[in-house]
Amino acid sequence: MKRLYTTDIRDADEGEEVALRGWVHEIRDLGGILFLLLRDREGIAQITLVKKKTSEELMNTVRGLSRESVIWVKGKVKQEDKAPMGYEVIPQDIVVLNIAESPLPLDPTEKVRADLDTRLDARFMDTRTRRGMAIFRIRHHMLQATREFLSEEGFIEITTPKIVASATEGGTALFPLSYFDKEAFLNQSPQLFKQLMMAGGFEKVFEIGPIFRAEEHDTRRHLNEATSIDIEQSFVDHNDVMEVLERLVSHVYERVAQDAQRWLDVLGVKLTVPEVPFQRLTYDEALDIASKVEPELCWGDDLTTQSEKTIGAEVGEHYFIVDWPTDAKPYYAMPHEHKPEISKSFDLMHPRMELASGTQRIHQHALLKERIASKGLEPESFEFYLRAFRYGMPPHAGWGLGAERLLMTMLELDNIRECVLFPRDRRRLSP
């Protein structure tokens, strides 16, 4: 007897015995016939019980089931065009593995749509809906395609500490914690550690891992714990890693469209693979566009949410903003040799929001120490980092890409919290 997922059953299984396990999605009692819809992670199967052909005990077992109870069904496959998967299962035995309480926290059939807070409070049940399952199955394919691409490009996956002694980029957006007899922090970024691996001779590294920002945002696109896709590469400049980034995004779209089409169909999303190369706007050009609706913006200012929307509406596709003012970027951003007020930096933009940020890094010890001090930071606090620059640090560049933002824009979702199983923001610490 085969133990299958609902989508594994084929025409060739006609008359074969199969075993299905899953949840009671719905029960339709028409008197002389019972339809039990069993749902597993892949789909829905129709279990058909005809009164004249089924034992009374089995009929009563099904009538006594509550929705979302967990069951095991053994039966024979029969083709049925009107059934959800084009077949039905005529049960020989049904074992109740766990009875679900009523009422349910939300409706997994989605006939009654729950609001986002209700869904997040009962995430274990929200992912039983086809929409909830689809988002995270696509996320799986997105991250799988990312690892595949970067590995094929020669990058080595690393894991860096999430508990650190000092801020990555300075500032106050840190979550402090007690680390034995010391104060420590949750890491804002793997930035310093991936740069250390350039000194370590790895040449090309990537990491997919959590980052933590103690910023009191309350928007649809910010999280306090997010997943960052980071790379660092030696013997290149910012233009080289921009090219890696745009090809990665295009590859991810292509692979998700190829490997996750049925989940995209659940969401009603039709992906268009972005063409490379992406358009490049200088910071000055971007500021000129934004100034049409925000004339108060000055050179050196960061771009506002409204600015990003204005520029995105004009460009209409993925694009880069390059050549940012040096003072607008972190201390490790390399200034242009003949125009030091401009840095070798970039942001990757979707028309809706920023997705990634990167730079060529400063690899000279004296200049890096000077830039740290210019930001009002104490170079002594970065000694573990600066030390590596004294013993042969190659030129290098890199970027960090927000995984949730990439998924959110790809799937046209309204709120970034939909992209995280258990989101953390200023109000949500549980579940």
Residue 308, marked binder = no
Cβ atoms of 356 and 206 closer than 8 Å: no
- The Cα–Cα gap between 56 and 170 comes to 71
Q: Which of 221, 318, 350, 363 is catalytic?
A: 221
- The Cα–Cα gap between 429 and 431 comes to 6
For this structure, is 412 an active site residue?
no
Amino acid type, 223 = L
Q: Which of 140, 254, 354, 428 is catalytic?
A: 354
Q: Which of 80, 215, 225, 314 is catalytic?
A: 215
- The Cα–Cα gap between 6 and 76 comes to 13
Residue 404, marked binder = yes
Q: Which of 123, 140, 213, 247 is catalytic?
A: 213
For this structure, is 357 an active site residue?
yes
- The Cα–Cα gap between 47 and 74 comes to 10
User: Nearest 5°: phi and psi at 34?
Assistant: -115, 135
Residue 361, marked binder = yes
Residue 222, marked binder = yes
For this structure, is 215 an active site residue?
yes
- The Cα–Cα gap between 10 and 16 comes to 10
- The Cα–Cα gap between 291 and 288 comes to 5
Residue 354, marked binder = yes
Residue 215, marked binder = yes
- The Cα–Cα gap between 227 and 267 comes to 22
Residue tagged 């729950």 (tokens): 114
Residue 260, marked binder = no
Amino acid type, 76 = K
For this structure, is 221 an active site residue?
yes
User: Nearest 5°: phi and psi at 339?
Assistant: -150, 75
User: How far from 321 is each of 188, 257, 261, 282, CA to CA, in Å?
Assistant: 23, 27, 31, 5
Residue 26, marked binder = no
Q: Which of 318, 357, 417, 418 is catalytic?
A: 357
Closest among 97, 87, 15, 76 to 45, alpha carbons compared: 87
Contacts of 60 (CB under 8 A, 6+ apart): none
For this structure, is 238 an active site residue?
no
Residue 371, marked binder = no
- The Cα–Cα gap between 127 and 291 comes to 43
Strands (E), 242-298: 279-282
Residue 225, marked binder = no
Residue 223, marked binder = yes
Alpha helices for 21-79 (secondary structure H): 56-63
Residue 341, marked binder = no
User: Nearest 5°: phi and psi at 62?
Assistant: -65, -40
Residue 137, marked binder = no
Contacts of 25 (CB under 8 A, 6+ apart): 37, 38, 39, 44, 67, 108, 109
Residue 43, marked binder = no
Q: Which of 232, 405, 417, 418 is catalytic?
A: 405
Residue tagged 């009692």 (tokens): 29
* Binding site feature residues: 169, 213-215, 221-223, 354, 357, 361, 402-405
Please state the residue numbers annotated as binding site for ATP: 213-215, 221-223, 354, 402-405
Binding site for Mg(2+), by residue number, is 354, 357
Known binding-site residues for L-aspartate equal: 169, 213, 357, 361
**Active-site amino acid positions:** 213, 215, 221-222, 354, 357, 405
